[in-house]
Structure 1
Amino acid sequence: MTAYAIGDLQGCHAEFVELLERIDFDPGRDRLWLAGDLVNRGPESLACLREVQGLGDAALTVLGNHDLHLLAVARGGARLNRKDTLADILEAPDREALLDWLQSRPLLVRQTFAGQGETVMAHAGLLPQWSAEEALGLAREVEMRLTSESSGAFLEQMYGNEPSCWQASLDGIDRLRAIVNVLTRMRFIDADGCLDFSAKEGLDSAPAGFAPWFRYPRGDELRLVFGHWAALEGCVEGARVRAEALDTGCVWGGSLTALNLTTGERIGVPSRQRR
């Protein structure tokens, strides 16, 4: 068995299929970790959802901010944005089954790989203040709410930049929103673990007093696999933790990347998108 982690699909179904062929993926033998954002911005979000769901237990995906946006639009009363490409899902005959499946996905996964040690994947990354065990527990709080009878009310209140700083004493919707923001939206933070939501480009766009989350040291040897930040182009320059950036901007004309989680080898296919 070989396990691969793949960056943000964002509706790039043709590239996903090509990448699976390139790595000779066999769902009866191999496993996939998908870093979230299966949908939106690209041309075939519905096909991506169906493809990943169809892989069953061979594919493990975490929720990204675009996946949560789809759920918020479909089930939380949020509005579509001008650049969204989610209409094919919202109008699909199997819409509810796909949304049920997506809503039951985790926000964080953890496994130990031979020669690589303990590996955690979250869409955006992990606060340096959080241990793997703590992060799993916090992610589980959100996952339980997403699968509860009150999920619609949560999706209605999920959006927002406040609170921008994580504190263990947070409760209610503030606590859940802060967890979601760390795991699905984080890029730049300060030394206290406060998030900046304004800067979304490369490393040189960091606001004063902020740095990429992976430039803050941790007290462990955890390997952190993440997507979300296409402007990094797969590089984590100056990282002070073991970090692997997987979003190489397929939907923006870059490439789609798979990481062999045991050997560390990267395999990519070029984007077919024109931007």
Structure 2
Amino acid sequence: MANYFVGDIHGCFSELKKLLETVDFNPSRDVLWSVGDLIARGSESLATLRFFEHLDNAARMVLGNHELNLFGINAGIRTPRPSCQLTELIASDDFPRLLEWLRLQPLLHEVPEHQLLMTHAGIPPQWDVDTLRQEATRVSEALKQPDYLDVIISRMYTDAPEGWNPDLNHYERIRYCINALTRIRFLYSDGRLDFACKLPPEECVDSDLKPWFLFPSKTDNYIKVFGHWAALMGETGNPKIQALDTGCCWDQYLTLWHLESNQKITQKRLKKS
């Protein structure tokens, strides 16, 4: 059995297929893990979702900000940008089924035997693993409820609260968890979330900001796998912090990380005719 972790696919399904052919991925033997953002920006979002759903237990994914935004688009809360190329997906006959399948996907995956945690964007350094599990489960359980559009989706389009406090109310905790696990990049020195800067760390001009993974963390004993931050191009300076978004949808490449060998395999963005 091999465990393969893939960065943000963003509808670049042809590139994913080539990567899986390169490593001879076998769903009866191997597991494909996705850091989320399977959809949007690339032209093959529908094919990507169908593929992951079809893999069943041979695939595991966490929700990214683009999957959550898709719920808002479907509810009429958000308007899809043309650049996200979601028309084919939304118009497909199986879109309702795929949307319901997405609702069942978590914000956190663990691989206990390897002491590994996977989220879309990162993990607040002030959270221990028990808090991480508790807050991620809170969101996942709320997403499964009939009123999820009111409890989560209609309330999540705000940057507040910027900081974690165990005294936050139910809705504030949900918002903070979603923002932290699916949008985090930089933090202020006091631990507050910043969403303005998306640059590589060396180009950030605010001296009070640092990448979330450079703070002392209560989960330092874990390998942490994430995507979301294409500007990092996979570079964190720490082998236990695996950044897998390498900007395939921005004409860079898609990255597959083989856990057991600690090897990264990449596929350059294909030119579409």
Structure 2 length-normalised TM = 0.94
Deviation at 1:160, TM superposition (A): 0.8
The one of 114, 129, 133 aligned to 1:136? 133
- Aligned ranges 1:41-60 → 2 under 5 Å: 41-60=41-60
SS at match of 1:83: helix
Stretch deviating more after TM superposition (69-78 or 142-151)? 69-78
Alignment match, 2:3: 3
Greater than 4 Å deviation, 4+ residue runs: none
Q: 1:82 to 1:162 in 2, by over 3 A?
A: farther
CA distance in 2, matches of 1:126, 1:43: 30
The one of 148, 151, 158 aligned to 1:151? 148
Alignment match, 2:216: 217
Alignment match, 1:165: 163
Q: 1:176 to 1:206 in 2, by over 3 A?
A: farther
Deviation at 1:206, TM superposition (A): 5.3
Deviation at 1:229, TM superposition (A): 0.4
The answer (yes or no) to whether the contact 1:76–1:152 under 8 Å persists in 2 is no
Alignment match, 1:248: 246
Q: Which runs of 5+ in 2 are unaligned?
A: none
CA distance in 2, matches of 1:260, 1:206: 34
Deviation at 1:191, TM superposition (A): 3.0
The answer (yes or no) to whether the contact 2:36–2:63 under 8 Å persists in 1 is yes
- Aligned ranges 1:67-216 → 2 under 5 Å: 67-75=67-75, 77-113=77-113, 117-153=114-150, 154-203=152-201, 204-205=203-204, 207-216=206-215
Stretch deviating more after TM superposition (208-217 or 55-64)? 208-217
SS at match of 1:98: helix
Q: How big is the alpha-carbon RMSD for the aligned residues of Structure 1 and Structure 2?
A: 1.5
Count of residues in Structure 1 that have an aligned counterpart in Structure 2: 269
CA distance in 2, matches of 1:100, 1:273: 32
Deviations 1:9-49 (A, max 9, x none): 00001001111111110000000110000000111111111
Q: Which runs of 5+ in 1 are unaligned?
A: none
Structure 1 length-normalised TM = 0.94
SS at match of 1:55: helix
